Structure 1
């Protein structure tokens, strides 16, 4: 929901949130109770350098441009899988 700035004749400024279809030209001033007109301000733009934005961008890009694998990953980096001989473990669900 967008935030709009208002300023009254006394010079008080405040922000209020309205839907784009319901934003009024005037609002009641929160400080003095007078009539405040909507002020023209610069839009609040997204901080595209944040890590959350980069994560969303990477996920969207990988859906259309998946990474190409040209070889198997190295097997030396994993710990060997332990094997159990307990017959009760055979009844456990496998992941």
Structure 2
């Protein structure tokens, strides 16, 4: 279930865990039982998988300072398969 942050005028911020269908409902402070207002903040990204979190971080870093490439990447190594048919051995090679 999602966690919603509310703030009380007297006591300060506190979290409320409730279903999404009840997100607009009023919350009362657990300490002084006064009505409180909901505070909207950044989403909790700590629950993302590590790979996705790393990709998002790299995306944000590249927006300000993209990596500069100074040369073309090398060609990947190709494995040579030996031809078994003698007619294939006479074909031109790249």
Specify which structure has the higher proportion of helix.
2
Q: Give the TM-score taking structure 1 as reference length.
A: 0.45
Q: Give the TM-score taking structure 2 as reference length.
A: 0.46
